[in-house]
Structure formats: C-alpha cells, structure tokens
A and B are shown apart, each in its own frame.
Chain A
Amino acid sequence: MVGSKFFNWCLYLGLMAAIILLLTWGKPHKIVGLFFVSGLAVGSLYALGGIGMVVLYRATGVLNFANGAMGAAGVMTAWQLGEWGVWPPLTWLSAIAVALVLSVGYGRFIAPALAWREPVVKAVATLGFALIILGLVSYLWIDDPRKFSLPTDKIGVRILGLRVTVTRLIVLAMSVGIVVLIHQYLTRTSIGLHMRALANNRDVSALIGIPILRTETIAWGISGVIAGFTGLMFGDLIRLEPTVITFMVIPSIAAAICGRLESLGLVLIGGLSMGVIESLLTLSPYLKSVRPIAPFIIAALVLLYFQRGRRLSFGGAD
C-alpha cells in the first residue's frame, strides 16, 4: 500500500516535471524563472484553498464552496480598516477573524440542519452561502479601483537572479507549514482523532459518543482561518476583487480533487503544479489559450487514474 502510494507520487511528480520541461524547452532562463515564480505563488493559493476544503470535508463531509467568499469578505474588511487608519496588524487579523466568524457561524447554525442530507445538497448549500456573502460584499464595497498591500511586498530576495518578495515566500512556506501542522494535529490530538473518526463513519462516531458538534465546529474554525489567510494573500498577490477571490474556490476544488479530498500532501503538490503549469502554458503560442482549464484537466486526469474501479470522491462513501 505504502509502495503503491509512493509510486503514485513519483509518477505524478515525474509527469509534471516532463510537462514543465516540454513547455520551457529552449526558452530563456530568466523568462522561465519569472513564469515559474509567478505560477508557484498562484499554485500556493490554490493549494491553501484546497487544504482548507479537504480539512473540512474530512471532518464534516461538507465540500465548502463558500471558502473563497469568506476570504473575500475578510480581505475587503482588512482593506477598509486600513483605509480608516487602523493599525495594520489588526487589519490583517480582522481578515482572518471575519472569515472565522462566517465559517463557524455557518458550521454552527446552518450546517447541522443539513447534517443528514446528501453531500451534494450540503455542497450546494455552501454555494448559496457564498453567493449571499458575495452579494453583501459587492453591496458594501461598490466596484472601484483598489489595491491591498502588505509590508512584505517591499522586501524581496534574489533567487537565481529573480526578485521574489517575502509575501510570496510566506505563502509558499505557509502552504507547506499548514499541511505539516494539520497532519500533526490530526494524528496526535484527541480532536484530530475525532475528526478522523467522523471522516471514516459519522453514524458509528455518533454512537460511540464522539462530540460531533464540537469536533465539527473546530473543523469549521480551522477551515475559516485558512480561508481568511488565503483571502488576505490572494488580495495582495493577485487582485483585490471580491468576485475573483470568491471564485478562486473553483481551481481550489481542482487541487482538492487532486488529493482525492483526502491527502493534504497531494493537495499541496496538486495545487503547486497546477499553478506552475498554468503559468508556463503562457510560453506556448498554441496552448496559452487553454490556460484557465489547465487545473481541471490535471484534476480530471488524476481522478481518472485513481478512479480505476474505486469509490467516487465526491459522494464520499459508496
């Protein structure tokens, strides 16, 4: 089993490396480097979004489409507080706090009412919640040119002749760090054990006395914090537009599917490789127009590979 997993990882990484080599063959080193660094940042955000979704899905069975909208509400709040002259660290914390409150609020008051419904119904309910948040955010912050910056944008380091800002390094480091931390949390704490039990069988977990509501609320909280952080980074590194941030959830789902809604490590690798390949496709005059669908093609191929005679990923258990 372990050998098979290792083979799958190696196969995926080998394929990605081959595609990257193919796309960058004969191109100037500096240009390739610029696209690679750019793709890595976007990929980190896809991965972060995907990680938040998988953590929640594993504990609650809910595929949360509202992750992006929660992040958008958070970063818009941070921007607004910044405009009002609030101390910057407080504005950053406010972004995470807003996403946390939205996530826990949904998890505590709405999600329990849908606990025994089909996974698709739960997922669609979060989509409705995402649209409500997006509507409110669009109402509060009318369409206007805005920019959100962090002080770490001003600090850069040279890597192979390329300027890489500390913000980009933070995103990359956080995406790796969060995977490690959550893995440790799930394997070494009692709440982590409860979450894994819920992921395996909700009915049996309830029967043996696992505090479902408490465990799920913590999962919603972790997911909300990740969504808030991702929104903050997205607003800084990509653009401060609520709609774009809200629908960032779509490539994040592709990253989550890469990890089959289970493996955080694969979500990370999937997200990073999707971002890099999407960016490097720009170098091909023939393939650059298919850039936006690249994450989904990768996710579909991964799904098909893993799906050989096995269970459906979306439905959870069948």
Chain B
Amino acid sequence: MKLALTFASVLALGAYAIPSQAEAAPKCGLNTGQAATGKPIIVGGIHGNAAPGDFSASTDAAKAYFDCVNANGGINGRPIDYRVENDQWNPELAAQAASKLVKDAGAVAMVGNGSFMEMAVNAATYKQEGIMAMASACAISECFESSNIVSTNQGPLPSNLGATQYAQEELGTKNVGCIGLNIPNNGPWSCQVSIDYMKSKGGDGSMALLNPSAPDVNSALLEAISNGADTILMNLPAGLAIAVLKAAEEQGLRDEYKWIAPTPLYDLSVPKALGDYWDGHVYVNAELAPFQVGGPDAKNWIEVMDAYAKPEDPRDTFAQSGYLSATYFTKAMLEMDPADLDDRAKVTAKIKSIAGYKSDLMCGPYYVGDADFHMPNHAGYMLKIENGGFTIVRECYEFESAYFDKHIALEKELGLR
C-alpha cells in the first residue's frame, strides 16, 4: 500500500540520513565526484504506467543512474537531460510521447523504455527518425524484431523457452501447456517457440490464450490440462499467474503437473502471495542475475538506487534492466568524440556499433549491431520458489532454439563467439 510505503520511506530516510556518509558511494560514468555543468544532452524515455500495470521501474532506474552520472562529471562535463513520458497504455499517447521527445525535444537517443504499447506504435518512428531506443522492459515482438530498438531485458519469448528447456531437461516434461495473453505480438508469439522446442525434443505442446480482460483464468488452466499438458507454463504477468496457481490449488492439481514460469513471477512478493502450498513446486526463469548473486554491477545498482532513486521506486528486474541500459548508453557516449554528442546520426551509429559490453547482471555480452532484429540477452538463470524466497537451481545457461540462429550468426560476425 502506497501509504504504508510512504510512511516506511520517511522512516527509512530518517534512519539512513546520518550513516549514509559511511555507505559505499556508487560508481557512475567518469566518477569524478564533480557535477556536470555543460550543455545538456537530451535523452528520452517512455514507460507505461496506468491500471492495470506499472512499467515505470525501468525509467526510474535509468534516471537514477543518469543523475549519478551528472553528479560525477556527466558525459565529459555535459549532463544528461533525461526526459520521461508516460504512455498510460494508450497508443495515441505513446505516439505523442515519441513525437514530443524525438521530434520536438530532439533527443539523441531513447533509454530505459518500458511498455506493452509504445514499441509497437513507435518502432517505425524510431526507424524513420534514425534514433535508437535502448529499451529495458519489453514484452512484445516489435521490441525484438525492429531495426531501431534493442532491449536489455529478454521479454517473454526467451524466458519462456528457458523455463521450458529446464523443465524438459530436469523435470521430465513431455508436453507443455503455455497459458498466455491473447495478444498476437505477445502470447502466441512467445508461446510458439517453447512449443516448437518441445516438438524438436520429441515432446508436444499447446497454448491456451487468455483474453486480458476476461475475468476467468480458470478456463485457461483447464484448457491447458484438457490439451494433455503435463507441465503448465504461465506466460502471464504475476497477478494473472498467481490467479492461475490459486485455481490449481483449489482443484488440488499441484502434484499432478509441473509448474514453470518466465521472469514476471520473479518478484520477491510472489512466494508470500502464493503461500506454503506452492513452496518447492514452482520454477521461475530469471532473465537477469537474481538478487542474491551480488556481483559488482548488482551492488552498484543497489547503491545507485539508494542514493539517487526514490525509496519507493521498485528494486526489481525491470529496474536492473533500466540501470543496465543507462550504463551501456553512458559507456558508449563516453567513447564518442565529445563534438559528436548532439549529432543523432552519429549517436545512433555508435549505439549500433556496441559489441561485447559485459555486466555481472547479464549472462552474456551485450551488443546491438546493424540488423532488423535485436535480442542480445538470451541466456538466464533458473530459480525455484523455496522457503519463502527463490533459490537458484541452474546458473547461467543459454537457451536453445532455431529462433536464435540469426542472433548467433550476428554474434559471430561481431566476434562475440
């Protein structure tokens, strides 16, 4: 509850006000400790935040990192003027937001975008305007199959596949039933690759598609079961996946099936919401490093958030992803000739040339490349909901699918393999 969060935030601020000097300072950009005072570099970001979902964590984290960069020398003395718009899940607003940032404000790049909507609406605009969107919270096909959008998060397709692959290899899955949203560029697109994977391994699969506005998730679960599934893949936002698991609990179906899910279920509040019944029975794929891994970047992300984000801003996968996009963008800008930083074409060319940036938050290297598709993140972790939290059951592993053939070819071309 927001009231409770706000109250807790005030308490937390009070508690940390004095000892914060002793905490480790985050490392950002040039890390000079001097505020940047030059001419601002305009960068845009669009998120979706309205009922029923809030994707603003990615832009919140990107903003926190850019604020940190600006307090530490900026981009060779120039601060980043990060302007964020909310599409409110409205296509018209999404188009207006892009127009405002790209055409009117003259942003040189978009960073940290997170939405179900804006990528589908604005992919053509970004291409036409020659601007790159380094997105962070993508969930639809346009985000991964466009020339001018690249995301640090995986989206549902690889994460589903990772969960299915683990279930086939470790849990003995023969037939997966993928419950997804009946949105063509989300549910069918992301379920099909997991079904194809099962068929390639001699198994089978099917999809049960759920209308986002339909109240009855039970029917989708029953459809998956009636299709002969032995494993239920919940390719859904966390709230809907919890509703599916609750329906299964009511029917006492836990031990008759295996239960797997992509990243959206990797939320620290999920184990508590599910309760003891599901403890030890749900497997979740994580597209970025789980919080307990705690590498240098993972620690720096938390330090940046603590120092520059609002206390109530989420510390979740989308926030990790927003932080990562912002760090990669900053690194690329620092590698550029300072005279070219206002030249969008040169900034775009630089972003497209990114290859081999590494972070402990991601299993593989980050790259962009000049292609009509971008999915640099296609490896992850597998977790199990256990003891009221998440335990890692498989460390970084690469997902297998013919879908990634072109990505692997590009990685070879860029010298990453």
Tell whether A and B belong to one assembly: yes
The chain A residues found within 8 Å of chain B, CB to CB, are 28, 31, 34-35, 38-39, 41-42, 45, 80, 134, 138-147, 149, 153, 156, 163, 165, 234, 238-244, 247-248, 251, 275, 278-279, 282-283, 288-289, 291-292
Asked if residues B215 and A248 are in contact (CB atoms below 8 Å), the reply is yes
With A and B bound together, what is the CA distance between A146 and B225 in angstroms? 24
Enumerate chain B residues within 8 angstroms of A282, measured Cβ to Cβ. Answer: 208, 219-220, 222-223
Interface members, chain B 209-251 (any A CB < 8 Å): 209, 211, 213-220, 222-223, 225-226, 238-240, 242-243, 246-247, 249-251
Enumerate chain A residues within 8 angstroms of B171, measured Cβ to Cβ. Answer: none
Enumerate chain A residues within 8 angstroms of B222, measured Cβ to Cβ. Answer: 31, 34-35, 38, 282
B51 located at the interface, meaning its Cβ lies under 8 Å from any Cβ of chain A in the complex:
yes
Interface members, chain B 166-216 (any A CB < 8 Å): 182, 208-209, 211, 213-216
With A and B bound together, what is the CA distance between A275 and B215 in angstroms? 11
B19 located at the interface, meaning its Cβ lies under 8 Å from any Cβ of chain A in the complex:
no
Q: In angstroms, how far is the closest chain B Cβ from the Cβ of A293?
A: 10
Enumerate chain A residues within 8 angstroms of B250, measured Cβ to Cβ. Answer: 153, 156, 163, 165
B74-95 vs A, Cβ < 8 Å mask (1 yes, 0 no) = 0000000000000000000000
Query: Which residue of A31, A145, A242 is within 8 Å of B273 (Cβ)?
Result: A145
With A and B bound together, what is the CA distance between A179 and B52 in angstroms? 33
Name the residue of chain A whose CB is nearest to the CB of B245.
A147
Q: In angstroms, how far is the closest chain A Cβ from the Cβ of B186?
A: 15
Asked if residues B51 and A42 are in contact (CB atoms below 8 Å), the reply is no
* Residue among B53, B222, B267 with most chain A CB within 10 A: B222
Enumerate chain B residues within 8 angstroms of A39, measured Cβ to Cβ. Answer: 216, 219
With A and B bound together, what is the CA distance between A243 and B208 in angstroms? 23
* Residue among A142, A234, A242, A247 with most chain B CB within 10 A: A142
Enumerate chain A residues within 8 angstroms of B2, measured Cβ to Cβ. Answer: 139-142
Enumerate chain A residues within 8 angstroms of B220, measured Cβ to Cβ. Answer: 282
Q: In angstroms, how far is the closest chain B Cβ from the Cβ of A69?
A: 11
Instruction: Kindly list the 4 A-B residue pairs having the minimum CB-CB distance in the complex, ordered from nearest.
Output: A239-B243, A145-B238, A38-B218, A243-B52
Asked if residues B223 and A288 are in contact (CB atoms below 8 Å), the reply is yes
Asked if residues B52 and A163 are in contact (CB atoms below 8 Å), the reply is no
Enumerate chain A residues within 8 angstroms of B246, measured Cβ to Cβ. Answer: 147, 149, 239
Asked if residues B211 and A291 are in contact (CB atoms below 8 Å), the reply is yes
The chain B residues found within 8 Å of chain A, CB to CB, are 1-3, 5, 51-54, 182, 208-209, 211, 213-220, 222-223, 225-226, 238-240, 242-243, 246-247, 249-252, 267, 269-270, 273-275
Asked if residues B242 and A145 are in contact (CB atoms below 8 Å), the reply is yes
Enumerate chain B residues within 8 angstroms of A45, measured Cβ to Cβ. Answer: 215
Enumerate chain B residues within 8 angstroms of A134, measured Cβ to Cβ. Answer: 51
Given contacts A80-B1, A244-B52, A289-B182, contact A163 B239 (CB under 8 A): no
With A and B bound together, what is the CA distance between A291 and B217 in angstroms? 12
Asked if residues A238 and B217 are in contact (CB atoms below 8 Å), the reply is yes
With A and B bound together, what is the CA distance between A31 and B251 in angstroms? 12
Enumerate chain A residues within 8 angstroms of B239, measured Cβ to Cβ. Answer: 143, 145-146, 239-241
Enumerate chain B residues within 8 angstroms of A241, measured Cβ to Cβ. Answer: 52, 239
Query: Which residue of B5, B52, B182, B216 is within 8 Å of A143 (Cβ)?
Result: B52
Enumerate chain A residues within 8 angstroms of B242, measured Cβ to Cβ. Answer: 145-147, 239
With A and B bound together, what is the CA distance between A132 and B310 in angstroms? 26
Q: 6 extra interchain contacts, Cβ-Cβ under 8 A, other than A145-B238, A147-B273, A279-B218?
A: A34-B251, A41-B218, A143-B53, A147-B246, A163-B251, A279-B219
Enumerate chain A residues within 8 angstroms of B215, measured Cβ to Cβ. Answer: 42, 45, 234, 238-239, 244, 248, 251
Enumerate chain A residues within 8 angstroms of B5, measured Cβ to Cβ. Answer: 142
